[in-house]
Amino acid sequence: MGNPNGFLKVKRDTFAYRPVCERLKDYREVTAIPGAAHSEDQASRCMDCGTPFCHWACPIGNYIPEWNDLVFHKQWAKAFELLRATNNFPEITGRLCPALCEYSCVLGINDDPVTIRENELAIIENAFKRGIIKPVPPGRRSGKRVAVIGSGPAGLAAADQLNRAGHSVTVFERDDKAGGILRYGIPDFKLEKRIIDRRLNILEREGVEFVIRTEAGCDIKTTALIKDFDALCLAGGSRVPRDLRIEGRDLKGIHFAMEYLMQANRRASGETISADRLIDARDKRVVVIGGGDTGADCVGTAHRQGARCVVQLEVMPKPPSGRTDSQPWPRYPLILKTSTSHEEGGERHWSVSTKRFEGKGGHVSKIACVRLEAVMTGKGAAPEMREMAGSDFYIDADLVILAIGFVHPERSGLLDSLGIDLDGRGQVKTDGRFMTSMKGVFASGDMRRGQSLIVWAISEGRQAAHYIDLYLMGKTVLPKF
Protein backbone atom coordinates (compact mmCIF):
# COMPACT_ATOMS: atom_id res chain seq x y z
CA MET A 1 0.00 0.00 0.00
CA GLY A 2 1.24 3.48 -0.84
CA ASN A 3 0.15 4.86 2.53
CA PRO A 4 0.08 2.03 5.11
CA ASN A 5 -0.66 4.54 7.89
CA GLY A 6 -3.49 6.32 6.08
CA PHE A 7 -6.13 4.87 8.39
CA LEU A 8 -4.39 6.55 11.33
CA LYS A 9 -4.56 9.98 9.72
CA VAL A 10 -7.86 10.01 7.84
CA LYS A 11 -11.28 9.37 9.36
CA ARG A 12 -14.16 7.75 7.51
CA ASP A 13 -16.16 10.40 5.66
CA THR A 14 -19.15 9.13 3.69
CA PHE A 15 -20.86 10.77 0.74
CA ALA A 16 -23.25 13.56 1.58
CA TYR A 17 -26.97 13.43 0.78
CA ARG A 18 -29.05 16.18 -0.71
CA PRO A 19 -31.09 18.03 1.96
CA VAL A 20 -34.36 16.33 2.85
CA CYS A 21 -36.39 19.47 2.14
CA GLU A 22 -34.96 19.50 -1.38
CA ARG A 23 -35.02 15.84 -2.34
CA LEU A 24 -38.60 15.23 -1.23
CA LYS A 25 -39.71 17.48 -4.08
CA ASP A 26 -38.35 15.21 -6.81
CA TYR A 27 -37.21 11.68 -7.64
CA ARG A 28 -33.60 12.54 -8.45
CA GLU A 29 -30.77 10.63 -6.82
CA VAL A 30 -30.33 11.53 -3.15
CA THR A 31 -26.56 10.97 -3.12
CA ALA A 32 -24.20 13.81 -3.96
CA ILE A 33 -21.00 12.26 -5.38
CA PRO A 34 -17.95 14.37 -4.37
CA GLY A 35 -14.77 15.05 -6.32
CA ALA A 36 -11.79 12.76 -6.84
CA ALA A 37 -9.77 14.19 -3.93
CA HIS A 38 -12.36 13.00 -1.42
CA SER A 39 -12.20 9.40 -2.67
CA GLU A 40 -8.41 9.45 -2.87
CA ASP A 41 -8.29 10.40 0.83
CA GLN A 42 -10.81 7.72 1.75
CA ALA A 43 -8.97 5.08 -0.30
CA SER A 44 -5.81 5.84 1.71
CA ARG A 45 -7.55 4.31 4.75
CA CYS A 46 -7.38 0.84 3.16
CA MET A 47 -4.82 -0.97 5.31
CA ASP A 48 -2.05 -3.34 4.34
CA CYS A 49 -4.06 -5.91 6.28
CA GLY A 50 -2.52 -9.08 4.84
CA THR A 51 -5.76 -11.03 4.63
CA PRO A 52 -8.47 -8.91 2.96
CA PHE A 53 -11.70 -10.22 4.40
CA CYS A 54 -13.54 -7.60 2.30
CA HIS A 55 -12.64 -9.70 -0.74
CA TRP A 56 -13.89 -12.82 1.04
CA ALA A 57 -17.25 -11.19 1.83
CA CYS A 58 -17.87 -9.83 -1.68
CA PRO A 59 -20.09 -12.19 -3.75
CA ILE A 60 -18.28 -11.15 -6.96
CA GLY A 61 -14.79 -11.13 -5.44
CA ASN A 62 -13.90 -7.51 -6.13
CA TYR A 63 -10.17 -6.70 -5.89
CA ILE A 64 -10.86 -4.13 -3.22
CA PRO A 65 -7.44 -3.44 -1.64
CA GLU A 66 -5.83 -3.29 -5.07
CA TRP A 67 -8.15 -0.71 -6.60
CA ASN A 68 -8.21 1.31 -3.38
CA ASP A 69 -4.44 1.53 -3.63
CA LEU A 70 -4.68 2.63 -7.28
CA VAL A 71 -7.22 5.33 -6.40
CA PHE A 72 -4.95 6.63 -3.63
CA HIS A 73 -2.15 6.90 -6.20
CA LYS A 74 -4.52 8.74 -8.56
CA GLN A 75 -4.34 5.89 -11.09
CA TRP A 76 -8.05 5.97 -11.80
CA ALA A 77 -7.95 4.29 -15.21
CA LYS A 78 -6.09 1.28 -13.83
CA ALA A 79 -8.48 1.13 -10.90
CA PHE A 80 -11.38 0.95 -13.36
CA GLU A 81 -9.76 -1.89 -15.32
CA LEU A 82 -9.36 -3.89 -12.13
CA LEU A 83 -12.92 -3.15 -11.04
CA ARG A 84 -14.31 -4.14 -14.44
CA ALA A 85 -12.53 -7.51 -14.21
CA THR A 86 -14.98 -8.75 -11.56
CA ASN A 87 -18.02 -6.48 -11.70
CA ASN A 88 -20.13 -5.91 -14.81
CA PHE A 89 -22.16 -3.08 -13.30
CA PRO A 90 -20.30 -1.22 -10.52
CA GLU A 91 -22.48 1.83 -11.16
CA ILE A 92 -25.38 -0.34 -9.89
CA THR A 93 -23.71 -2.04 -6.92
CA GLY A 94 -22.02 1.22 -5.96
CA ARG A 95 -25.48 2.66 -5.41
CA LEU A 96 -27.53 -0.31 -4.20
CA CYS A 97 -25.29 -2.92 -2.58
CA PRO A 98 -25.58 -3.16 1.23
CA ALA A 99 -21.76 -3.32 1.26
CA LEU A 100 -21.17 -6.77 2.73
CA CYS A 101 -17.48 -6.02 2.20
CA GLU A 102 -17.46 -3.09 4.60
CA TYR A 103 -18.79 -5.19 7.47
CA SER A 104 -15.83 -7.54 6.90
CA CYS A 105 -13.23 -4.79 6.56
CA VAL A 106 -10.30 -5.51 8.90
CA LEU A 107 -10.18 -1.86 9.90
CA GLY A 108 -13.76 -2.27 11.11
CA ILE A 109 -12.57 -4.43 14.04
CA ASN A 110 -11.63 -1.37 16.08
CA ASP A 111 -12.45 1.62 13.84
CA ASP A 112 -14.86 2.70 11.12
CA PRO A 113 -14.42 0.55 7.98
CA VAL A 114 -13.19 1.86 4.63
CA THR A 115 -15.85 3.45 2.40
CA ILE A 116 -15.52 0.59 -0.08
CA ARG A 117 -18.88 0.91 -1.84
CA GLU A 118 -18.51 4.65 -2.28
CA ASN A 119 -14.96 4.25 -3.61
CA GLU A 120 -16.31 1.73 -6.12
CA LEU A 121 -18.96 4.20 -7.26
CA ALA A 122 -16.36 6.95 -7.54
CA ILE A 123 -14.18 4.74 -9.78
CA ILE A 124 -16.91 3.87 -12.26
CA GLU A 125 -18.36 7.38 -12.43
CA ASN A 126 -14.86 8.79 -12.94
CA ALA A 127 -14.38 6.35 -15.82
CA PHE A 128 -17.66 7.44 -17.45
CA LYS A 129 -16.84 11.11 -16.92
CA ARG A 130 -13.40 10.75 -18.53
CA GLY A 131 -14.74 8.78 -21.49
CA ILE A 132 -12.73 5.68 -20.60
CA ILE A 133 -15.74 3.41 -20.99
CA LYS A 134 -16.43 2.69 -24.64
CA PRO A 135 -18.28 -0.16 -26.38
CA VAL A 136 -15.90 -3.03 -27.15
CA PRO A 137 -17.61 -5.63 -29.36
CA PRO A 138 -16.00 -9.09 -29.36
CA GLY A 139 -13.31 -9.62 -31.97
CA ARG A 140 -15.00 -12.71 -33.40
CA ARG A 141 -18.25 -14.61 -33.05
CA SER A 142 -18.51 -18.24 -31.98
CA GLY A 143 -21.51 -19.03 -34.17
CA LYS A 144 -23.50 -20.00 -31.07
CA ARG A 145 -26.77 -18.31 -30.07
CA VAL A 146 -27.94 -17.87 -26.47
CA ALA A 147 -31.33 -16.62 -25.27
CA VAL A 148 -31.41 -14.88 -21.90
CA ILE A 149 -34.90 -14.68 -20.40
CA GLY A 150 -35.18 -11.62 -18.18
CA SER A 151 -33.21 -8.38 -18.17
CA GLY A 152 -32.65 -7.88 -14.46
CA PRO A 153 -29.14 -7.86 -12.96
CA ALA A 154 -28.63 -11.62 -13.33
CA GLY A 155 -29.79 -11.68 -16.95
CA LEU A 156 -27.76 -8.61 -17.91
CA ALA A 157 -24.61 -9.95 -16.26
CA ALA A 158 -24.99 -13.29 -18.05
CA ALA A 159 -25.65 -11.54 -21.36
CA ASP A 160 -22.63 -9.27 -20.96
CA GLN A 161 -20.30 -12.16 -20.16
CA LEU A 162 -21.59 -14.41 -22.94
CA ASN A 163 -21.33 -11.60 -25.46
CA ARG A 164 -17.72 -11.00 -24.41
CA ALA A 165 -17.07 -14.67 -25.11
CA GLY A 166 -18.27 -14.13 -28.69
CA HIS A 167 -21.71 -15.71 -28.53
CA SER A 168 -24.72 -14.01 -30.15
CA VAL A 169 -26.96 -13.09 -27.22
CA THR A 170 -30.65 -12.15 -27.34
CA VAL A 171 -32.29 -10.89 -24.15
CA PHE A 172 -36.07 -11.28 -23.92
CA GLU A 173 -37.96 -8.89 -21.65
CA ARG A 174 -41.74 -8.82 -21.25
CA ASP A 175 -41.91 -5.23 -19.94
CA ASP A 176 -41.76 -2.06 -22.02
CA LYS A 177 -38.07 -1.49 -21.34
CA ALA A 178 -35.11 -3.61 -20.28
CA GLY A 179 -33.76 -3.51 -16.75
CA GLY A 180 -36.10 -5.73 -14.78
CA ILE A 181 -36.22 -4.94 -11.07
CA LEU A 182 -33.54 -2.28 -11.55
CA ARG A 183 -35.92 -0.24 -13.69
CA TYR A 184 -39.30 -1.04 -12.23
CA GLY A 185 -38.59 -2.08 -8.64
CA ILE A 186 -35.95 0.44 -7.51
CA PRO A 187 -37.06 4.07 -7.07
CA ASP A 188 -35.27 6.77 -9.04
CA PHE A 189 -34.07 8.45 -5.85
CA LYS A 190 -31.83 5.41 -5.37
CA LEU A 191 -31.14 4.60 -9.02
CA GLU A 192 -32.01 7.06 -11.77
CA LYS A 193 -33.01 5.23 -14.91
CA ARG A 194 -30.48 7.14 -17.02
CA ILE A 195 -27.85 5.01 -15.26
CA ILE A 196 -29.49 1.84 -16.59
CA ASP A 197 -30.00 3.29 -20.07
CA ARG A 198 -26.36 4.35 -20.22
CA ARG A 199 -25.27 0.74 -19.63
CA LEU A 200 -27.89 -0.78 -21.94
CA ASN A 201 -26.69 1.49 -24.73
CA ILE A 202 -23.18 0.10 -24.31
CA LEU A 203 -24.41 -3.50 -24.31
CA GLU A 204 -26.42 -2.93 -27.49
CA ARG A 205 -23.46 -1.32 -29.25
CA GLU A 206 -21.37 -4.31 -28.23
CA GLY A 207 -23.83 -6.63 -29.94
CA VAL A 208 -26.36 -7.74 -27.33
CA GLU A 209 -29.87 -7.79 -28.82
CA PHE A 210 -32.86 -6.81 -26.66
CA VAL A 211 -36.37 -7.97 -27.53
CA ILE A 212 -38.86 -6.13 -25.32
CA ARG A 213 -42.60 -6.53 -24.80
CA THR A 214 -42.09 -10.23 -25.46
CA GLU A 215 -42.88 -12.85 -22.84
CA ALA A 216 -40.94 -16.05 -23.37
CA GLY A 217 -43.22 -19.06 -23.33
CA CYS A 218 -46.22 -16.97 -24.41
CA ASP A 219 -45.45 -14.37 -27.09
CA ILE A 220 -42.63 -16.57 -28.31
CA LYS A 221 -43.19 -20.29 -27.88
CA THR A 222 -40.85 -22.41 -25.79
CA THR A 223 -40.39 -24.82 -28.69
CA ALA A 224 -39.17 -21.94 -30.86
CA LEU A 225 -36.66 -20.86 -28.23
CA ILE A 226 -35.23 -24.35 -27.92
CA LYS A 227 -35.06 -24.73 -31.69
CA ASP A 228 -33.54 -21.31 -32.48
CA PHE A 229 -30.98 -21.08 -29.69
CA ASP A 230 -28.09 -23.31 -28.61
CA ALA A 231 -28.66 -22.53 -24.93
CA LEU A 232 -31.17 -20.75 -22.71
CA CYS A 233 -30.45 -18.83 -19.51
CA LEU A 234 -33.51 -18.33 -17.30
CA ALA A 235 -33.17 -15.13 -15.26
CA GLY A 236 -36.76 -14.08 -14.70
CA GLY A 237 -36.45 -13.39 -11.00
CA SER A 238 -38.72 -14.41 -8.13
CA ARG A 239 -41.76 -12.23 -8.65
CA VAL A 240 -44.62 -14.00 -6.84
CA PRO A 241 -45.17 -11.88 -3.70
CA ARG A 242 -45.78 -13.27 -0.25
CA ASP A 243 -49.34 -12.43 0.75
CA LEU A 244 -50.92 -11.68 4.11
CA ARG A 245 -54.09 -13.76 4.09
CA ILE A 246 -55.95 -12.30 7.04
CA GLU A 247 -59.45 -10.97 7.57
CA GLY A 248 -60.18 -7.94 5.41
CA ARG A 249 -57.49 -8.69 2.84
CA ASP A 250 -60.01 -8.20 0.02
CA LEU A 251 -60.64 -4.56 0.94
CA LYS A 252 -59.61 -1.92 -1.58
CA GLY A 253 -56.48 0.10 -0.84
CA ILE A 254 -54.24 -2.88 -0.03
CA HIS A 255 -51.47 -3.50 -2.55
CA PHE A 256 -48.26 -5.47 -2.97
CA ALA A 257 -45.05 -3.45 -2.75
CA MET A 258 -43.87 -4.30 -6.25
CA GLU A 259 -47.25 -3.33 -7.68
CA TYR A 260 -46.91 0.05 -5.98
CA LEU A 261 -43.24 0.62 -6.84
CA MET A 262 -43.58 -0.43 -10.47
CA GLN A 263 -46.43 2.00 -10.99
CA ALA A 264 -44.58 4.78 -9.17
CA ASN A 265 -41.52 4.24 -11.37
CA ARG A 266 -43.63 4.35 -14.50
CA ARG A 267 -45.21 7.61 -13.32
CA ALA A 268 -41.79 9.09 -12.56
CA SER A 269 -40.72 8.26 -16.12
CA GLY A 270 -43.67 10.21 -17.50
CA GLU A 271 -46.22 7.45 -18.08
CA THR A 272 -49.87 8.21 -17.38
CA ILE A 273 -51.78 5.77 -15.20
CA SER A 274 -55.55 5.62 -15.55
CA ALA A 275 -57.56 6.78 -12.55
CA ASP A 276 -59.07 3.34 -11.94
CA ARG A 277 -55.59 1.79 -11.64
CA LEU A 278 -53.80 4.61 -9.82
CA ILE A 279 -52.11 3.84 -6.50
CA ASP A 280 -51.30 7.23 -4.99
CA ALA A 281 -50.29 8.11 -1.44
CA ARG A 282 -51.18 11.80 -1.67
CA ASP A 283 -52.98 12.98 1.50
CA LYS A 284 -53.33 9.37 2.65
CA ARG A 285 -52.41 7.65 5.88
CA VAL A 286 -49.96 5.03 4.59
CA VAL A 287 -48.93 1.86 6.39
CA VAL A 288 -46.09 -0.24 5.00
CA ILE A 289 -46.02 -3.79 6.35
CA GLY A 290 -42.49 -5.17 6.17
CA GLY A 291 -39.29 -3.68 7.53
CA GLY A 292 -36.81 -4.54 4.76
CA ASP A 293 -35.27 -2.54 1.93
CA THR A 294 -38.35 -2.87 -0.27
CA GLY A 295 -40.49 -1.51 2.54
CA ALA A 296 -38.09 1.42 2.94
CA ASP A 297 -38.37 2.13 -0.80
CA CYS A 298 -42.15 2.29 -0.38
CA VAL A 299 -41.72 4.70 2.53
CA GLY A 300 -39.56 7.04 0.44
CA THR A 301 -41.97 6.85 -2.48
CA ALA A 302 -44.97 7.64 -0.26
CA HIS A 303 -43.15 10.69 1.12
CA ARG A 304 -42.59 12.01 -2.40
CA GLN A 305 -46.20 11.43 -3.37
CA GLY A 306 -47.31 13.64 -0.49
CA ALA A 307 -48.60 11.12 2.08
CA ARG A 308 -50.26 12.61 5.14
CA CYS A 309 -48.29 10.23 7.35
CA VAL A 310 -46.30 7.01 6.89
CA VAL A 311 -45.93 4.12 9.34
CA GLN A 312 -43.74 1.06 8.74
CA LEU A 313 -44.38 -2.16 10.66
CA GLU A 314 -42.00 -5.07 11.23
CA VAL A 315 -42.93 -8.34 12.91
CA MET A 316 -39.41 -9.01 14.22
CA PRO A 317 -37.80 -7.22 17.20
CA LYS A 318 -35.86 -4.00 16.73
CA PRO A 319 -32.28 -4.97 15.81
CA PRO A 320 -29.37 -3.85 17.99
CA SER A 321 -27.51 -0.70 16.97
CA GLY A 322 -24.16 -2.52 16.90
CA ARG A 323 -22.65 -5.98 16.76
CA THR A 324 -23.52 -8.47 19.47
CA ASP A 325 -21.51 -11.46 20.68
CA SER A 326 -23.63 -13.68 18.44
CA GLN A 327 -22.69 -11.64 15.36
CA PRO A 328 -18.91 -11.17 15.55
CA TRP A 329 -16.69 -9.73 12.86
CA PRO A 330 -16.36 -10.61 9.95
CA ARG A 331 -19.95 -11.85 9.71
CA TYR A 332 -22.58 -9.60 8.18
CA PRO A 333 -24.50 -8.40 11.25
CA LEU A 334 -28.24 -8.03 11.59
CA ILE A 335 -28.17 -4.53 13.06
CA LEU A 336 -30.42 -1.50 12.86
CA LYS A 337 -30.13 0.23 9.50
CA THR A 338 -31.63 3.62 8.77
CA SER A 339 -32.07 4.38 5.08
CA THR A 340 -32.41 7.77 3.43
CA SER A 341 -36.16 7.13 3.27
CA HIS A 342 -36.36 6.79 7.05
CA GLU A 343 -34.41 10.02 7.46
CA GLU A 344 -37.17 11.77 5.51
CA GLY A 345 -39.86 11.12 8.11
CA GLY A 346 -42.44 8.58 9.18
CA GLU A 347 -42.59 6.12 12.05
CA ARG A 348 -41.15 2.63 12.46
CA HIS A 349 -42.55 0.01 14.79
CA TRP A 350 -41.03 -3.39 15.55
CA SER A 351 -42.48 -6.55 17.09
CA VAL A 352 -45.93 -5.84 15.66
CA SER A 353 -48.24 -8.43 14.12
CA THR A 354 -51.08 -7.42 11.81
CA LYS A 355 -54.24 -9.25 12.85
CA ARG A 356 -56.89 -7.97 10.42
CA PHE A 357 -57.86 -5.13 8.10
CA GLU A 358 -61.01 -3.16 8.74
CA GLY A 359 -62.74 -0.79 6.35
CA LYS A 360 -65.60 1.48 5.40
CA GLY A 361 -67.51 1.21 2.14
CA GLY A 362 -65.28 -1.61 0.93
CA HIS A 363 -62.04 0.39 1.43
CA VAL A 364 -59.45 -0.16 4.16
CA SER A 365 -59.60 2.39 6.97
CA LYS A 366 -57.60 0.87 9.81
CA ILE A 367 -55.46 -2.10 10.83
CA ALA A 368 -55.89 -4.16 13.98
CA CYS A 369 -52.47 -4.98 15.43
CA VAL A 370 -50.93 -6.65 18.47
CA ARG A 371 -47.49 -6.29 19.98
CA LEU A 372 -45.17 -9.28 20.18
CA GLU A 373 -42.44 -10.36 22.54
CA ALA A 374 -39.48 -12.60 21.83
CA VAL A 375 -39.48 -15.71 24.02
CA MET A 376 -36.63 -18.21 24.16
CA THR A 377 -38.23 -21.66 24.25
CA GLY A 378 -35.08 -23.77 24.28
CA LYS A 379 -36.14 -25.41 21.02
CA GLY A 380 -33.63 -23.48 18.95
CA ALA A 381 -31.32 -20.48 18.77
CA ALA A 382 -34.03 -18.14 17.48
CA PRO A 383 -36.70 -16.82 19.85
CA GLU A 384 -40.39 -17.46 19.32
CA MET A 385 -42.51 -14.36 18.74
CA ARG A 386 -45.60 -14.46 20.96
CA GLU A 387 -48.49 -12.03 21.32
CA MET A 388 -48.48 -9.87 24.44
CA ALA A 389 -51.76 -10.04 26.33
CA GLY A 390 -53.67 -6.77 26.31
CA SER A 391 -51.40 -5.11 23.75
CA ASP A 392 -53.96 -4.84 20.94
CA PHE A 393 -54.15 -1.49 19.14
CA TYR A 394 -55.30 0.09 15.87
CA ILE A 395 -53.54 2.12 13.20
CA ASP A 396 -55.54 4.30 10.83
CA ALA A 397 -54.75 3.52 7.19
CA ASP A 398 -56.04 4.66 3.81
CA LEU A 399 -53.33 2.85 1.85
CA VAL A 400 -51.58 -0.37 2.91
CA ILE A 401 -48.47 -1.68 1.16
CA LEU A 402 -47.42 -5.31 1.68
CA ALA A 403 -43.62 -5.54 1.53
CA ILE A 404 -43.09 -8.96 3.07
CA GLY A 405 -40.99 -10.60 0.38
CA PHE A 406 -41.44 -13.07 -2.46
CA VAL A 407 -42.01 -16.81 -2.47
CA HIS A 408 -40.95 -18.17 -5.87
CA PRO A 409 -40.80 -17.39 -9.61
CA GLU A 410 -43.92 -17.25 -11.74
CA ARG A 411 -44.64 -20.70 -13.17
CA SER A 412 -47.33 -20.09 -15.74
CA GLY A 413 -45.94 -19.75 -19.22
CA LEU A 414 -42.26 -20.54 -19.60
CA LEU A 415 -41.57 -22.72 -16.56
CA ASP A 416 -44.73 -24.77 -16.99
CA SER A 417 -44.10 -25.30 -20.70
CA LEU A 418 -40.47 -26.31 -20.11
CA GLY A 419 -41.52 -28.77 -17.44
CA ILE A 420 -38.22 -28.41 -15.59
CA ASP A 421 -37.72 -29.52 -12.00
CA LEU A 422 -38.25 -27.16 -9.08
CA ASP A 423 -36.68 -27.44 -5.65
CA GLY A 424 -38.49 -27.70 -2.32
CA ARG A 425 -38.93 -23.92 -2.14
CA GLY A 426 -40.41 -23.67 -5.62
CA GLN A 427 -37.26 -22.19 -7.20
CA VAL A 428 -35.77 -23.57 -10.41
CA LYS A 429 -33.60 -26.55 -9.55
CA THR A 430 -30.13 -26.74 -11.09
CA ASP A 431 -27.05 -28.90 -10.81
CA GLY A 432 -23.61 -27.67 -9.76
CA ARG A 433 -23.16 -26.13 -13.19
CA PHE A 434 -26.34 -24.06 -13.14
CA MET A 435 -28.05 -26.39 -15.64
CA THR A 436 -31.69 -27.28 -15.07
CA SER A 437 -33.19 -30.73 -15.54
CA MET A 438 -33.39 -29.92 -19.28
CA LYS A 439 -30.14 -30.10 -21.22
CA GLY A 440 -28.97 -26.72 -22.50
CA VAL A 441 -31.32 -24.76 -20.24
CA PHE A 442 -29.62 -22.90 -17.38
CA ALA A 443 -30.92 -20.68 -14.59
CA SER A 444 -29.45 -17.88 -12.49
CA GLY A 445 -30.38 -15.15 -10.04
CA ASP A 446 -33.47 -15.07 -7.84
CA MET A 447 -35.23 -17.59 -10.08
CA ARG A 448 -32.65 -20.16 -8.96
CA ARG A 449 -31.35 -18.78 -5.67
CA GLY A 450 -34.50 -17.23 -4.27
CA GLN A 451 -34.97 -13.60 -3.30
CA SER A 452 -31.55 -12.10 -2.68
CA LEU A 453 -29.28 -9.11 -3.22
CA ILE A 454 -28.48 -7.48 -6.54
CA VAL A 455 -24.78 -8.21 -6.06
CA TRP A 456 -25.65 -11.90 -5.70
CA ALA A 457 -27.72 -11.71 -8.89
CA ILE A 458 -24.70 -10.35 -10.77
CA SER A 459 -22.56 -13.13 -9.30
CA GLU A 460 -25.14 -15.72 -10.35
CA GLY A 461 -25.29 -14.32 -13.89
CA ARG A 462 -21.50 -14.45 -14.21
CA GLN A 463 -21.34 -18.03 -12.95
CA ALA A 464 -24.14 -19.16 -15.25
CA ALA A 465 -22.34 -17.57 -18.22
CA HIS A 466 -19.17 -19.45 -17.30
CA TYR A 467 -20.95 -22.80 -17.43
CA ILE A 468 -22.96 -21.93 -20.54
CA ASP A 469 -19.75 -21.07 -22.37
CA LEU A 470 -18.22 -24.33 -21.16
CA TYR A 471 -21.30 -26.25 -22.35
CA LEU A 472 -21.24 -24.63 -25.78
CA MET A 473 -17.50 -24.72 -26.46
CA GLY A 474 -16.14 -27.56 -24.32
CA LYS A 475 -13.88 -25.01 -22.64
CA THR A 476 -14.36 -21.48 -21.39
CA VAL A 477 -12.57 -18.15 -21.43
CA LEU A 478 -14.93 -16.69 -18.82
CA PRO A 479 -14.06 -16.54 -15.12
CA LYS A 480 -16.26 -18.55 -12.80
CA PHE A 481 -16.73 -15.59 -10.45
Q: What percent of the chain has pLDDT over 70?
A: 99
pLDDT for 10 beyond 90: yes
Residue 2, amino acid = G
pLDDT recorded at residue 467 = 98
Q: At 474, is the pLDDT very low, low, confident or very high (cuts 50, 70, 90)?
A: very high
pLDDT recorded at residue 377 = 81
pLDDT tens digit string along 80-133?
999 999 999 999 999 999 999 999 999 999 999 999 999 999 999 999 999 999
pLDDT for 293 beyond 70: yes
Q: Strand 145-149 relative to strand 168-172: parallel, antiparallel, unpaired?
A: parallel
- Tell me if residue 288 falls in helix, strand or coil: strand
pLDDT tens digit string along 183-204?
999 999 999 999 999 999 999 9
pLDDT for 425 beyond 80: yes
Q: What percent of the chain has pLDDT over 90?
A: 94
What single DSSP character describes residue 252? B
pLDDT recorded at residue 1 = 61
Q: At 37, is the pLDDT very low, low, confident or very high (cuts 50, 70, 90)?
A: very high
pLDDT for 443 beyond 90: yes
pLDDT for 23 beyond 80: yes
pLDDT recorded at residue 378 = 74
pLDDT tens digit string along 295-318?
999 999 999 999 999 999 999 999
Q: At 383, is the pLDDT very low, low, confident or very high (cuts 50, 70, 90)?
A: confident
24 close to 344: Cβ distance less than 8 angstroms: yes
pLDDT tens digit string along 48-63?
898 999 999 999 999 9
pLDDT for 343 beyond 70: yes
Closest to 441 in 3D by CA, of 225, 129, 117, 238: 225
- CA-based angle 226:229:234, to the nearest 5? 70
pLDDT recorded at residue 376 = 84
Beta strands (DSSP E) in 377-433 are 384-387, 393-396, 399-402, 406-408
The average pLDDT across 377-403 equals 91
CA 67/CA 48 separation, integer angstroms: 13
* Domains parsed from the chain with CATH numbers: 6-129 (1.10.1060.10), 145-239+407-473 (3.50.50.60), 244-404 (3.50.50.60)
User: What is the pLDDT of the chain when averaged over all its residues?
Assistant: 96
pLDDT recorded at residue 380 = 67
The average pLDDT across 448-458 equals 96
Closest to 329 in 3D by CA, of 118, 100, 114: 100
pLDDT for 379 beyond 80: no
Q: Strand 363-375 relative to strand 352-360: parallel, antiparallel, unpaired?
A: antiparallel
pLDDT tens digit string along 145-198?
999 999 999 999 999 999 999 999 999 999 999 999 999 999 999 999 999 999
pLDDT recorded at residue 278 = 97
pLDDT for 221 beyond 80: yes
